Every structure is written in structure tokens, then in C-alpha cells.
Amino acid sequence: MKKSLLLALTIVLAFGLAACSSNSNSGTNAPASASPAESGAAPSEAEGETVTLTFWRHDYAPEAEAFKKLIASFEEKHPNIKIDFQMIPNDQYETKIRTALAGGNPPDIMALDAPTLASYANSGAIIPLEDYFAKDGNKDDLLKPVIEGLTFNGKMYAAPNNEGTIVMFYNKKMFEEKGIPLPSKNVDEAWTWDQVLDAARKLNDPAKGVYGWNPTPWGFAGHEGAPYSEMAFLWQAGAEILSPDGTTAKGYLDSAEAKKAMTFWKSLFNTEKVSPKELPQDAFWNGKVAIHVDGPFAFSYQEQNFPNFKLGADYDVAPLWKDQKMIGTTGSWGMAITSKSEHPDEAWAFVNWVTGVEGSKVWYEETKNLPARQSTFDAFAELKEYPMNIYAEQLSKYGHPRPVTPAYPAISEAIRLLFEDVGLGNGDVDEALARAVKKIEDGLAIQKQQ
């Protein structure tokens, strides 16, 4: 095992944009059972031998139930293939995977978050899936941002369970009380930064502890959720984090466009003071933030925890804001086959059962996570209707994956600290950008030496 895997993955990227489960099947014409269509027999069936495949995934209860149903239907259809499904606590998952890979005894199939893919692929820990996708994976059905986020050196290394992006939430009653026009629900007519800021100024009410605009879902959190949402500001301003060939951040992350984005970000927390440096618990749902940003899982959270705060009456949803460009960050969890697996064909049969055209419909029914396949969007009426259509259209038209590079852990930390330095710490923008560039350059240099 190359040292690069251990070095490049020193930061645990535990963030996943995954929706809470729902058993509601309203507005759907997809099959109701967890039984995807047959995608071809695996070799073990023809040979009559029984194969046991180990599958590891981070622990997330709603999705665990969906996996159990899909595993049951797969084993019923493939009686000679058994799935040993192991859920690992979130805070232990990456460490256990890295330890198993380094020790040469990883599972046959592993879950991975999109930003970790390049590190695993570069180290040879997982195998490319191009030939499998060409055979029966229906790759052309996957959305373009999904393919980009799971592709390293021209090859896909994972099959997506779902996809993620975030949009703008706003307190409708607060807008109406202040006489502020409501944002458009058309993703091609997203509000500009200046429009959102103008509304935030009017909505800001320090005497009541109300902030006008929270621009990142979890505030200055120490996990991947922060850079996931913050990178969009850089791209929207026209900046890039890395050069097109992924070899340097110099001249890109320290560009005039990046400086513009960071200067605007700094103003929200320090000059305009419309954004909270310390985000109150459930700030949007408790009326302490007027403009927020969140994923589709927020609807289930609201229904379970704030049932009296209603969509359409108390709050509404609009496309994410924009500057020079309209861009929304994408990326979520997928399934990969490890290079140590002695049964890659059987492993693919299961991966494709879960993530293929029919399996993806079952997955959406069970989890309500944003789909990665166009056919799933087409199969469910609710995905064409407000509010889910905003996520679907924004993802399809304006989705942008995070950089796919073995040095991503260094990038993630650099971006998180950059936005903290400038927003939370009121730091000098040029100095903060220089530190971020250096951190990324150091990460790229370490990766090149392996």
C-alpha cells in the first residue's frame, strides 16, 4: 500500500448530504418494492458456488434500512451471493477503512464520499468501473456533475447512491412583514449576492437576535460541510481553486476573483454584520435567521422537529444565489469495489443492483435523497414539482463537483480555514488567501512525492 493513502486522507471527511428517510410514495410511478430489475447473472451463479461479499458503510440509520431491503431483494435474486453488511460509526469510518486497506484486508465493497475518491483511486485501493458501466451500468443516465465528481484520470471509480446540492431557504413571513419582494423560484433567475444582501440588511434585527443571512448551513463547523458550501462563493465570483490540470493553486485561488469573493464574505460577518459568527441551534427554524441555505433533507427535519413551521406559509425555497456565475456545489456518497476483492464481478452485480436504473428508484423511495440518475428524476412526479424541482434543475444545470484530486484533504482544510480566517476572524483577505494557497501547494507537493 502506498503511503499516499495514509497521508492524503489524514482529514476525516465525514460530511454527507443525505436525506432523512421517508416511506411516502405520493406522486410516483416507480415500483414500490425494493426489487430492482435483473442486470445479468454473476459468475458464481453459473458456477454454483456461494460467494460472500463484505460491504462497509458509515452508520446512518435511515439509509441502513434502505440497504437492508435492497440486500434482501438482491440475495433472493442471487441465491449464491451473500452480502455481509457492516455499519461503522461515522467518526470511525474513514480510520477503519484506511487501517483495513493498509493491512491488506479491506471489504469487497466500500462506501466513499466523493472527495475521498481520488486518494483511494490514486493509491490503487479501488478499481475503475468503466468496463462495468459500459456493460450494463447505464452511465449515460447519470447526471454530468455526478460523473465528473466520481471520475479520476478519465475513469469512474464509484457508482453513486445519490447526489447533493444546497439551495436558499427564506422566512416568508419576515419578507412579507418588511415588504421585500420574494425571490424567484426559477433557477435561471437566481438572486445575486447584492440582492440577497439588500434583503438581509432589511431583515437584520440585532435587538431581537435575528440575523439577515446565514450563508453556510452549519456555520463555522469543523467538518466538510463548511467548505462544501463555501466553495460555491469562489466559483460564483469566477475564481478557481486549482489550475485545470490540478497541479497548482497559485494564480487561481489568489486571483482577483477570489479576492472579490472573500472580501464580500468578510463584509457579511464584520462590516454589514448580517451573518452570525456563532450560529444558534436550529437558527432558521427558530426564527433567528431570515435567509438560510440547506439540502433537501431539511424538509424531513422540519416536519419532525418543527411541524408548525410550514413550507409555503412560514418559509419558502429558492435557487442558490449567484454572482458572475450561477453555481451550486455537488457531491455525495457512492459505492466502490476494492482492489483486494477476489470477486469483483459479483461485487459489481450488487453495486449495480443498488445504484442502477431500477435500484436508484428504490433508493429514492426509501431515502428521499436527491437522485444521481435522470431516469429517477423522470420517474417521480414530486421531483418535477416545487420544492424538489429547484434542487433537480439546479443540480442538472449548474452543479459543480469539488476538486477531484488525491490532495483534496489539504484543499478542504485550506478552504475551511480561509473562510474562518476572513469571516470569523476578520482577517486580512490577501494574507488569508496566501496561507490557503500555501497549504494547498504543500498538500500537492506531498502527494507528488509518493
Domains of the chain from N-terminus onward:
51-163+331-401 (3.40.190.10), 167-330+406-448 (3.40.190.10)
**71-75 average pLDDT score:** 98
Average pLDDT, the chain: 90
The DSSP-derived string for 132-200 is: HIIIII-GGGB-HHHHHHTEETTEE--EES-----EEEEEHHHHHHHTPPPPPS-GGGPPBHHHHHHHH
Model pTM? 0.85
The string of pLDDT tens digits covering residues 140-172 is 999 999 999 999 999 999 999 999 999 999 999
Query: What is the Cα gyration radius of the chain?
Result: 22
Edge-first strand listing for the sheet containing 289-294: 211-213, 289-294, 167-171, 315-318
- Max Cα-Cα span within the chain: 73
Q: Is the dihedral angle over the CA atoms 427, 431, 436, 438 positive or is it negative?
A: negative
Whole-angstrom distance, CA of residue 320 vs CA of residue 330: 12
Amino acid code (one letter) for 262 = M
Band (pLDDT 50/70/90 cuts) for residue 390 is very high
Strands 155-156 and 151-152, by their bridges, are antiparallel
pLDDT tens-place string over residues 418-439: 999 999 999 999 999 999 999 9
For the segment 122-147, what is each residue's pLDDT rounded down to a tens digit?
A: 999 999 999 999 999 999 999 999 99
Angstrom CA distances, 363 to 208, 276, 360, 385, stand at 42, 36, 5, 19
Beta strands in 298-410 (DSSP E): 315-318, 328-330, 333-337, 399-401
CA–CA dist 212, 8 (Å, integer): 38
Task: Decide if pLDDT at 22 tops 60.
Answer: no
Helices 256-270, 408-419: inter-axial angle, 10-degree rounding: 50
Instruction: Please tell me whether residue 208 adopts helix, strand or coil conformation.
Output: helix
In degrees and rounded to multiples of 5, residue 205 shows phi and psi of -145, 80
Strand partners, 192: 322
Q: How far apart are CA 121 and CA 348, in angstroms?
A: 17
pLDDT in tens, 210-243: 999 999 998 998 788 899 999 999 999 999 999 9
Residues 6+ apart with CB under 8 A from 176: none
* Cell numbers for 67: 440497504
Element (H, E) at 213: strand 211-213
Confidence (pLDDT) at 327: 96
